[in-house]
Amino acid sequence: MMTSSIHLMAPRLEKTIGCLLKRARNISSLDDRPFHHGPAFVVHPDPTITIVSSDCGPSPAELHAEYLRNDLFKECGRMPCLSWNCPASIKDEVREWLLIIEDLDAPWCRPIVHGLYAGIPAAKLSVEPEDFVVVDDEKCRLDGGFHFGRNSRKKVYTAPKPMLNHGLHRYSFQVVALSRQLDVTLLESRATRKAYSKAIQGLVLGWGVWTASCERRWE
């Protein structure tokens, strides 16, 4: 009986906090703070790259249970398959790609980073779950031939799990085209969002975004 009560207390507390923080969303918005609104994108304020998902549909999409984090079921938390185009105007200039995934509706002062990947080869125009298997943790290398940076939970990828009753959360999957390969020291250092934001200044050729959303409710 005691164990059952404890298990019920956790979601009830999360629900209460979620409801309280939801009110603050009307006061403060993170819409002006995603990665692609940083100083490196001043010359390219509008998206020019189209991103699609073969398994989740066009943007804006809905993330179903298999794409959400569930601590009890390891088969959940799947990374969506993504593919994008390379505009003809920059095709000969692109040296590599960067991918960052952020929660735009996190109850904090900045978006939560769910995934950060750099050094994606210029010829690679898609990613799938198998690409994110670690082949060298020390050098942050993944099976897809690129590197992972530091996300908010210090993992390779953290699947969405919005707070109970906090409302709909939008997840922004942003692909950035770069005119130069980033320094390998940076790629192997599990660098942060801030470090990459600084490193790509003057290198951005274009970008695109695919958005998907989900919500967790407990009545």
Contact yes or no for 139/147 (Cβ under 8 A)? yes
Q: What pLDDT, in 10s, does the model give residues 159-171? A: 988 888 778 899 9
C-alpha separations of 76 from 53, 82, 92, 160, 170 in Å: 18, 18, 39, 10, 19
Q: pLDDT above 70 covers what percent of the chain?
A: 81
Domain architecture of the chain: domains with CATH: 2-214 (3.90.280.10)
Q: What pLDDT, in 10s, does the model give residues 11-50? A: 554 444 444 444 445 444 555 589 999 999 999 999 999 9
What predicted TM-score, i.e. pTM, was given to this entire model?
A: 0.85
Helix H segments across 25-107? none
